[in-house]
Amino acid sequence: MAKTYDYLFKLLLIGDSGVGKTSILFRFSEDAFNISFISTIGIDFKIRTIDLDGKKVKLQIWDTAGQERFRTITTAYYRGSMGIMLVYDVTNEKSFENIKNWIRNIEENASADVEKMILGNKCDLEAKRQVSKERGEQLAVEYQIKFIETSAKDSLNVESAFYTLARDIKAKMEKKQKEASNPAGARSGGHQLRNEPQRKPTSWLSRCSLL
Amino acid sequence: MSRSSSLEDIPDQCKDLFTQDGVLLKACLGRPVTDLNSIGMLCIVQNPDQTKSIEWRPNDLITIDSDAQDQEWAVVNTIGITMSFAKGRRQRTLSGNITSDYATARARIIKISLDELKTFRVTRNNQQMQFSTKPGVWQTTFYFQHGNAEIFVAYLKNHIKTAKTRHDRNTYVVVEPNIESQVLNRSFAELDIFTENTTDVVWNLMSNLRQRPYETTMEAFSKLTDIVYYGNEGMNGKRDVSEEVADLLTKSMSAIEDSTTLTRTDEYEVISVKPTLPPRPSIPRGTPLSTEKWDGLQDTEGRVTEVEGVKQLIFRGGVAHSIRQSVWKYLLDYHPWHMTHAELRALTKKRTEEYFSMKLQWRSMTEGQEARFSEYRDRKSLVEKDVNRTDRTHPFYAGDNNPNLVILQDILMTYVMYNFDLGYVQGMSDILAPLLLLLGNEVDSFWCFVGFMDKIASNFDMDQAGMKLQLVQLQQLLLFASPELAQHLAQKDSGNMYFCFRWLLVWFKREFSYRDIMRLWEVLWTELPCANFHLLICVAILDAEKDILISKDYGFTEILKHVNDLSMCLDVDKILSTAEGIYHQVVSAPHLTDQIRVILGLPTLNISTSTHSESEQASTSKVENGTDRNERNMFGQDMDEGTLEYNGIQISIVTKTVWALLA
């Protein structure tokens, strides 16, 4: 089979229960919204291939259960992620406060140079808002992480959020490739080509992490 | 900040149940060409009179400031205008200008009532969808620019019953929802596979099976699944022709499976020393425990004396739907088997009072108390979030302001007071929802929920120790019952079995329809034929997927995807039967290890292997580490030469390498 993409990026959605992680993913992967979502149990992922500056980038986006109790399981999936979306719900103060805990969680479990982004979801529910956009921006400045408010329901900024994260990963990867003096090193970046399949005995997780 | 949205204030007359963006209108009878080729949103909407329609709205009618989407870090336009149109439907937040010829625009909406929809078809690589309310004419054609129509079709199927036509696999016929018998007849007629009598069909199938086993089976099964599904919804306990055929098929399939297993083993020369399992017996499922039998099992005062007998019957065939309300209370340890009617009445009274006093505890909490009680608040907020997304597509929990959601919430909140330390954990609402649906009564549902939770409390441990233990045990069982698959999974970084997490956490609730999960649960509650039978259910499901997982060489992600996608595609009776067959294979295996015995709750013998039994007894620390020597053997690590008894013959286990091949 012909190669269908140039890069494979593994992304992860995390955040408190009910902030809309699955809805954001559904909006991005299917461009649809369903009012009767169910809570995520365990872990799942969806795929979408996007075009980024002429390159086909396959995004494999993992969706996790939000409740703290399940973190021991979900953190197993942090390793190997190249980008993480931290999601809170602008109508839920607690979910915003917890972003700090989620960041700590990432620091403990994900690779150090993982690209991060904060999403304030449900910004269509203006009447119920508890967290102002300014506070979201402040937090982002504090942690040096990009931030955007989204609405999965109204399809607002979801696309651009994923594109931005993907673009940042790509830029970081290409920078690393350039830095590597050995041109052969350029091929061992954080991507795997479709047409060189499971020959490698190393773990899938390590294949995907940035070197 | 001015409001960009007053969404909550608009009376919700029409409601979008599902929306799919990026849908191009390609053709529509009676519409001017200028209307065509515009992009819009295809929706499933609920009308004020509770009927449902498919609706397409052109984008220029509901334009979101599309530039905003592309600007990086675009500021959300907070001074947007909220427009409502089409009978006051809640609409998107608009940040563009609404054209004045709004009426003209409105006329461009296409609406197809689900009551009138006759057929639809999906073509062009699943990207094109056509609808018809009149036989022979495709009135509207849509093209899905983003992704494809699969998801839309899946959601549409939540609202209408469909059958695929015989001639064209891509065409769906909408089956009238009200008339059950018609449904069956029509699907049979349309599918055209029951024109002959049942036995002929099965024989034809059998003869085809010999020539084209795979295709024939898949074809037959896909047809049967449709019929069994559409024909039998809500017809509990009543067997009909399709079920019988399914049974026959299942039986013939297991015969075929057995024979292929034998051929398979021929491929490996090394098999002669491999401790293979005995052949898997094909054990037919029984009929559900009937009202008559159940009545007969109670003495004049209402005591159930033959408890083991009752459990056996339920294990074999489940419980007839009409008596589930009564029987489940026993199975879930709410009603003790030995109690008389009078004692049960007294118990019910006591439990009712107990329930309401616990309910009062949280109901009487003042706002101030709540504000100073963060642990309570956290639990409450989790419950609220999950109640609102529990089985909302099921009619019992569907719609806004559904009173059953309030009961669901009340029970879960009261459970928080009953067991505050455990509190609320995601998955609990999934466990409760079918109980409440069946029992219909708040107090009964609560106590049955308590009983169910007692059985699976370890699933919700704070440190997830119970879940981790089960995943390890599942891996050990699989290694014993289906070593080839276990080995494949281990090679693909899936040896931790995390992909079965959802199955175990909520006891397969997400994998089956309500009808099937009720059957599966009541069988599992009997705790027969052994401890942890639910793990053998996992093994049975996985074993059925073994060939796909291995032959396609699925890796870590594909395995997870494949397993997640099995949801709603599983046959509960077949799985129960297979799991029981595997149980018999395992327990009668001559090389059965103590490790497996412990998992299944059987007495241990400490003689699983002859050379190391003494050291095994002595070194308990190894067992505590979860790495007793059998497991290490199976993984081919730390392997000395040893012997194994198989069918009374001493077989020497050769070397590490051979074990690696075997395992």
CB B331 within 8 A of CB B296: no
Decide if pLDDT at B387 tops 80.
Answer: yes
Residue A162 pLDDT level (bands cut at 50, 70, 90):
very high
What gap in Å lies between CA A211 and CA A189, rounded to an integer? 6
Q: How far is residue B597 from each of residues B274, B342, B547, measured CA to CA in Å?
A: 20, 41, 27
Out of B125-134, B229-238, B338-347, least confident range: B229-238
Q: Does domain B332-460 have CATH number 1.20.1740.10?
A: no
Is the Cβ pair B147, A70 closer than 8 Å? no
Most confident of A22-26, B4-8, B9-13: A22-26
Residue B442 pLDDT level (bands cut at 50, 70, 90):
very high
- Output the pLDDT for position A177: 87
- Output the pLDDT for position A182: 61
Residue B484 pLDDT level (bands cut at 50, 70, 90):
very high
CB B173 within 8 A of CB B185: no
Does B96 contact chain A (CB < 8 Å)?
A: no
Name the pTM for this structure. 0.69
Out of A143-147, B4-8, B561-565, least confident range: B4-8
- Output the pLDDT for position B628: 38
Long-range contacts of the stretch B72-76 (C-beta < 8 A, 24+): B72/A160, B72/A164, B73/A146, B73/A148, B73/A160, B74/A148, B74/A157, B74/A160, B75/A133, B76/A123, B76/A133, B76/A149, B76/A151, B76/A156, B76/A157, B76/B4
- Output the pLDDT for position B168: 80
User: What is the rounded average pLDDT of the residues B365-381?
Assistant: 96
User: From the CA of B92, how many Å to the nearest CA of chain A?
Assistant: 6
Which among B5, B468, B510 has the least Cβ separation from residue A127? Answer: B5
Token readout for A160 is: 């651009």
Does B565 contact chain A (CB < 8 Å)?
A: no
Half-sphere exposure (CA, 13 Å, Cβ side) for B452?
Answer: 27
User: What is the rounded average pLDDT of the residues B193-207?
Assistant: 44
Greater confidence (A108 vs B436) lies with B436
Share of chain A above pLDDT 70, in %: 84
User: From the CA of A126, how many Å to the nearest CA of chain B?
Assistant: 6
What gap in Å lies between CA A43 and CA B559, rounded to an integer? 12
What gap in Å lies between CA A87 and CA A21, rounded to an integer? 7
Out of B68-72, B222-226, B319-323, B484-488, least confident range: B68-72
Token readout for A157 is: 């900024």
- Output the pLDDT for position A71: 85
Pick the CATH number of B2-62+98-159 from 2.60.220.10, 3.30.70.260, 2.30.29.230, 1.10.579.10: 2.30.29.230
Residue A2 pLDDT level (bands cut at 50, 70, 90):
low
Decide if pLDDT at B188 tops 60.
Answer: no
Interface of B with A in 334-373 (CB under 8 A): none
What gap in Å lies between CA B408 and CA B331, rounded to an integer? 21
User: B398 to chain A: which residues are within 8 Å by CB?
Assistant: 36
Decide if pLDDT at B607 tops 60.
Answer: no
Residue B118 pLDDT level (bands cut at 50, 70, 90):
confident
CATH number listed for the domain at residues A7-177: 3.40.50.300
Decide if pLDDT at B228 tops 90.
Answer: no
What gap in Å lies between CA A51 and CA A5, rounded to an integer? 9
Residue B608 pLDDT level (bands cut at 50, 70, 90):
very low
Q: What is the mean pLDDT of chain B?
A: 76
Does B266 contact chain A (CB < 8 Å)?
A: no
Decide if pLDDT at B121 tops 70.
Answer: yes
CB A46 within 8 A of CB A29: yes
Model ipTM value: 0.85
- Output the pLDDT for position B76: 35
Return residue ranges of chain B for CATH 1.10.8.270: 332-460
Decide if pLDDT at A174 tops 60.
Answer: yes
pLDDT tens-place string over residues B466-476: 999 999 999 99
User: B72 to chain A: which residues are within 8 Å by CB?
Assistant: 160, 164
User: What is the rounded average pLDDT of the residues B528-532?
Assistant: 97
Is the Cβ pair A18, B386 closer than 8 Å? yes
Decide if pLDDT at A63 tops 50.
Answer: yes
pLDDT tens-place string over residues B613-654: 334 333 333 333 333 334 333 333 333 333 333 333 333 333
User: What is the rounded average pLDDT of the residues B274-297?
Assistant: 92
Does B430 contact chain A (CB < 8 Å)?
A: yes
pLDDT tens-place string over residues B87-112: 333 344 344 444 456 667 678 889 99
User: B505 to chain A: which residues are within 8 Å by CB?
Assistant: 41-42
Which among B152, B381, B389 has the least Cβ separation from residue A38? Answer: B389
- Output the pLDDT for position B26: 87
pLDDT tens-place string over residues A64-78: 898 888 988 888 777
Token readout for B506 is: 């909520």
Decide if pLDDT at B435 tops 90.
Answer: yes
- Output the pLDDT for position B384: 95
Please give the single-letter amino acid code of residue A207. Answer: R
pLDDT tens-place string over residues B23-71: 988 888 888 887 888 888 899 988 888 888 999 988 876 543 344 333 3
User: What residue in B sits closest to A198 (Cα-Cα)?
Assistant: B555
Decide if pLDDT at B502 tops 90.
Answer: yes
Interface of B with A in 111-140 (CB under 8 A): none
What gap in Å lies between CA A32 and CA A159, rounded to an integer? 12
Decide if pLDDT at B225 tops 50.
Answer: no
- Output the pLDDT for position B183: 43
Share of chain B above pLDDT 90, in %: 50
Is the Cβ pair B391, A38 closer than 8 Å? yes
Out of B75-84, B580-589, B590-599, least confident range: B75-84
User: From the CA of B617, how many Å to the nearest CA of chain A?
Assistant: 33
What residue spans define the domains of chain A?
A: 7-177
Decide if pLDDT at A98 tops 60.
Answer: yes
Is the Cβ pair B64, A72 closer than 8 Å? no
Which among B5, B76, B427 has the least Cβ separation from residue A41? Answer: B427
Question: SS3 letters for B393-458?
Answer: CCHHHCCCCCHHHHHHHHHHHHHHHHCCCCCCCCCHHHHHHHHHHHHCCHHHHHHHHHHHHHHHHH
User: A44 to chain B: which residues are within 8 Å by CB?
Assistant: 560, 564
User: What is the rounded average pLDDT of the residues B361-385?
Assistant: 96
Pick the CATH number of B470-597 from 3.90.550.40, 1.10.472.80, 3.40.50.980, 3.40.50.10860: 1.10.472.80
